[in-house]
Amino acid sequence: MSASQSLDVSSPHARGAFALAPGARQSLHYALFAALVFGCAYGGLWLTAFTGRVAVIWVANAVVCAVMLKSDRRAFWPLMLIATLAAIAGSAAFGDAPSDAILLALCNSVEIALMVLLLRRAAGPVLDRATPQLLWTFFALAIGPAPMASALLGAAEQSLIRGQAFWPVAVHWYLGDAFGLLVLLPPLLTARLRDFRAMVSVSQLPGTMLALSGLAAAVIVNLIFRHYPLAYLFFPAVLLLTFTRGFAGGTLGTLVADAYLLLPALAGHGEIIPANPMRDQVMVILGFAAVLSFTVVLTGTALAHRRRLERGLGLALERAEEAVEEAVVARDAAERANRSKSMFLANMSHELRTPLNAVIGFSEVMKSEMFGPLGHTNYVEYSGLIHEAGSHLLDLINDVLDMSKIEAGKFEIEKKLIDVVPVVEDCLRLMQERAHAGAVRLLREVPSDPFMLFVDRRAFKQILLNLLSNAVKFTPRDGTVTVTLRRDLARRCCVLTVRDTGVGIPTEAISRLGNPFVQARGDVAIAHEGTGLGLALVRALSRMHDGIMRIESDLGAGTVVTVELPLGVAVERAA
């Protein structure tokens, strides 16, 4: 039995057919409820008359309480009104005077209101499980104020109008209502139809039959030894059903035991519990039924609580295992991050020292005028080297700062509709000197007409410069680097491609490129210094434009890096 199979009276499954519904369905539910209350009231009066005006057990109040507790809180007053009117109708149909029927129904309504309101108050916002506090509240109400208030009011009415003795009527009324609440309300609240269906399912049927055999044995023993007080044998049989099949099993066992003991007494064959007169027999049997019902609810609640704890422990263990796995993953990530940081610091320290040493060394030569006055031709070459080293140093610092801004979310772009053809030409001019120094030819496949794109000009220029710088750096002498710019209207994007005939990239290393501080050029990387930030910046800036970067390469045959940036709506229409 699951944890929800307890004193649950507010979940959507528990509300059942009596939850508020729109239109005709709601009216049908109210009509069925009225018919049920009418039948219970009329039947209770008939049973009282059949047993000689003995207050045996009053079923109607328990049924009404169960329905109201299982219904939405907003249905309290409509259901209370319907129950009161149906009880009045049942009493009138049985033959009670209208005034008696109204007063008696109102007395029962007081009992119902006390039970429902106080039980809901004790349970809090949601009656979702049979907690010990809720159980004790229920039994305290069922034994004490609820039936007592109804009994006192009913006895006063009978005494004043009919002239009956006050205390006998009050005692009989109290016992009938209290037994009705104690015997019937717990199974009505706790048992679920789905639980009874589960008991006879293929997987549970063998265990159910085994548990029912104990109940059958108790019935057989009581039948054989009819004149002996052996009703206590029902206790272990019902408890076995409760342990194995939860509230549904305990309810079934209780009903069988109660029917076996009560029906013969009502029919005048009360030898099972030898007590006379009939009222005493019925009271003893109902007391036995109330204790049995209390035991079933208490046991079922304890089992449900234990299962909830087991499930909670299981979930806690699962969460602990997941936390351990997450901790291991976090530790590995931290170790990788630490290694990346160490590699970055080692790489950057070398990268920054190299141009700084050149700047400082050549400037010292010029300052000391080692080759004579500053007009010497060597100084012209040295000043060029100083400029080249300073520019390289500036590029390194800019890359690091830009990557830091991007990762911190501080890098802002301002998209505008611009013609990117002049930007491409400007980048090619800036790279021309470096390409010429390495004997690399720069080729272009760029439209002659304006190519309008909605981008940040500086970011677009930085993307292309980084791609060209990488391509030129890793392309051997007499190689080529080709820049292609075109529209892909089918995919609604601008395609910027930089193709080189360089050393290429190993297949297994392509997936790692684009991450900060990662290089994958093998031994060639030793001859070409760099931080590994170029492609990382390209990828990050492309994503900031809602674009993508792709790398395709064959080792020894060259590399193609493609950046796709979305076209704006206005650009598509213009195209």
Helices (H) and strands (E) in the chain, counts: 19, 7
- CA torsion 387-389-391-397 (nearest 10°) is -150
- Residue 147 and residue 170 in contact, taking contact as beta carbons nearer than 8 Å: no
| pTM (2 d.p.) | 0.51
Question: What stretches of 207-306 adopt beta strand conformation (E)?
Answer: none
Tokens of 441: 């030819």
Supply the pLDDT for residue 1.
31
Distance CA 96, CA 112 (A): 21
Supply the pLDDT for residue 376.
66
Distance CA 245, CA 539 (A): 61
Q: What kind and span of H or E run contains 199?
A: helix 193-199
Supply the pLDDT for residue 190.
79
In terms of Cα–Cα distance, which of 95, 71, 98 is closest to 82? 71
| Tens place of pLDDT per residue across the chain (575 aa) | 333 333 444 444 444 444 444 568 888 889 999 999 999 999 888 877 765 544 568 889 999 998 998 888 888 999 999 999 999 999 999 888 888 899 989 999 999 999 999 888 877 654 545 566 677 788 888 888 999 999 999 889 888 888 888 988 888 888 889 888 888 888 888 778 888 888 888 888 999 999 899 999 999 998 888 778 788 899 899 999 988 888 888 888 888 988 888 777 776 665 555 555 666 777 788 888 888 888 888 888 788 778 888 888 888 888 888 889 888 888 888 887 777 666 666 666 656 666 677 777 767 766 666 766 666 677 677 777 777 777 767 777 777 777 777 777 777 888 889 999 999 998 898 888 888 888 999 999 998 888 989 898 888 988 998 899 888 988 888 899 999 999 888 888 999 999 999 888 877 777 666 555 555 444 444 344 445 577 888 888 888 889 999 988 888 788 999 999 988 644 554 45
164 backbone dihedrals φ, ψ, rounded to 5°: -80, 160
102 backbone dihedrals φ, ψ, rounded to 5°: -70, -45
Supply the pLDDT for residue 558.
87
